[in-house]
Amino acid sequence: MIEARHLTKVFDLPPARAGRILDAPADRARAVREAGGVLAVDDVSFSVDKGELFVIMGLSGSGKSTVIRMINRLVAPSAGSVVYDGADVGGMTPRELRELRNRRVGMVFQHFALFPHRTVRENAAYGLKARGVPKRERLRRADRALEQVGLGRRGDAYPDEFSGGMKQRVGLARALTTDPDVLIMDEPFSALDPLTRRSMQEQLLELQRDFRKTIIFVTHDLNEAMRLGDRIMVMRNGRIVQLGTGPEIISQPADAYVEDFVSDVDRTRVLTAGTVMQPPWVTAAVGDDPAAVLGRLRESPGHGVYVTAPDGGIAGVATDALLSEAVAGNRADLESCLGGGYTAVPDDAPLIEFCHRAGGHPVPLAVVDRDKRLVGVVPRARVLDAIASTPKDVNEHA
Ligand SMILES: Nc1ncnc2c1ncn2[C@@H]1O[C@H](COP(=O)(O)OP(=O)(O)OP(=O)(O)O)[C@@H](O)[C@H]1O
Ligand SMILES: [Mg+2]
């Protein structure tokens, strides 16, 4: 949907001068600085998929806002390009650019400027006026957008009757009225108190479940990034230090800088069963011979084996005790050995929801996908490794 290629921005130098410095093979950051300029963004490449919630995270001054402003060319790159839905934004005519900014990309900022003497509905409808939408239609769409952000009945109020969180909702509604393909949100919740912020995050995730917009969300808070982002791009000094999913970043921070951020994150809420699981030591299928299964089980550290049905679901657990009995009694069917005595968790369940259930059975926790198929197991040791902060190999199966 959006592809940034080698995006680079130098401020405070004439473009030609900046261009010459960037073309030279020397240390760019230093050369720009010595010439009196600022290398705000340095060779940043990434792509955002349709329907993805893509988070850009970094400390103040790391270049986040400059990157997103280059996406719709509010800032022209010094080098590199942005391709939007197959079209090079740098090659767009002024008219196409206007269309991109007004219609296809909506923006929400930290401090949203609302008009104090206009109603909330009129404020939400504001973006449609510039597009020549007739008044009745404008207000109708504003009401719908206000509904989407949980302010359905408040359209007649004035902004000064609203709290900070409600004002941000109006800002979000304004961006939604134009039904953009892409929403760019620059620290939209940063000025809110923690509880309001949390509820805005929930609201955004809810909206995202319903509408699946492509969203680029900027924040300097890693917990917020982890909660919201399908993927997170961590920036420092204008460069990308890491790009990956929350669990990837938590379990394999790229450097000490990211590790520092990660140490503040509650791992048990970010890591999921799917990210900490490993392949089962042994498996068996309904219809296997108990003697053969027992043989395989003896080679493994476990005392039981998951037996899967033809559809991949868990038929039950065969423990070594039950298997031995069957073999001693010359019973050849595995189904007679099946017991319960296991716990299955969905692959997207966060650790916090199931860590206390690890270790209670002869088999490790089972991880199942949406169709209830067995996709992996989580032994107790793995849970403990994941909670401790040095799970170097948590993702090694991936
Ligand atoms: N218009 C400008 N002119 C000169 N320098 C600029 C301009 N805009 C940004 N910069 C500089 O570029 C660097 C990156 O700024 P940017 O605003 O992109 O960072 P940011 O990650 O969004 O920071 P914050 O979290 O504070 O919003 C900073 O050093 C900043 O001072
Ligand atoms: Mg910024």
Among the bound ligands, name the one nearest to the CA of residue 64.
1
**Does the CB atom of residue 66 touch ligand 1 within 6 A?**
yes
CA distances 92 to 84, 87, 89, 97, 184, Å, are 10, 8, 5, 6, 19
CA distances 113 to 110, 132, 145, 150, Å, are 9, 21, 17, 20
* Interatomic CA distance for residues 391 and 380, integer angstroms: 13
Among the bound ligands, name the one nearest to the CA of residue 40.
1
pLDDT digits (tens, 9 = 90+) for 376-394: 999 988 888 888 765 444 4
274-387 folds as CBS-domain (3.10.580)
What is the b/e burial string over 334-350, where b = at least 16 CB atoms within 10 angstroms of the residue's CB?
beebbeeebebbbbebb
pLDDT of residue 216: 97
**Does the CB atom of residue 8 touch ligand 1 within 6 A?**
no
In degrees, rounded to 5, the angle at the alpha carbon of residue 128 between the alpha carbons of residues 125 and 130 is 125
pLDDT of residue 389: 60
DSSP reduced 3-state for 42: strand
Distance 364 CA to ligand 1 centre (A): 50
Distance 238 CA to ligand 1 centre (A): 9
Taking the CB of residue 154, how many other CB atoms lie within 10 A of it?
16
* Interatomic CA distance for residues 45 and 235, integer angstroms: 12
Distance 386 CA to ligand 2 centre (A): 33
DSSP reduced 3-state for 115: coil
Residues of the chain with pLDDT under 70: 389-398
* Interatomic CA distance for residues 122 and 246, integer angstroms: 38
Alpha helices by DSSP H, 193-299: 194-211, 222-228, 246-251, 256-262, 267-270, 273-276, 290-298
Write the residue with the smallest CA distance to atom 7 of ligand 1.
Answer: 11
* Interatomic CA distance for residues 157 and 123, integer angstroms: 10
pLDDT of residue 186: 94
**Does the CB atom of residue 220 touch ligand 1 within 6 A?**
yes
Angle between helices 135-148 and 164-177 in degrees, nearest 10: 130
Taking the CB of residue 95, how many other CB atoms lie within 10 A of it?
8
Which of 64, 75, 107, 184 to probe ligand 1 with, by most ligand atoms within 8 A of CB?
A: 64
Superfamily of domain 48-76+93-271: P-loop containing nucleotide triphosphate hydrolases (3.40.50.300)
Which of 32, 38, 189 to probe ligand 1 with, by most ligand atoms within 8 A of CB?
A: 38
Q: Where are the domains of the chain?
A: 48-76+93-271, 274-387
Distance 65 CA to ligand 2 centre (A): 4
pLDDT of residue 7: 97
Distance 191 CA to ligand 2 centre (A): 13
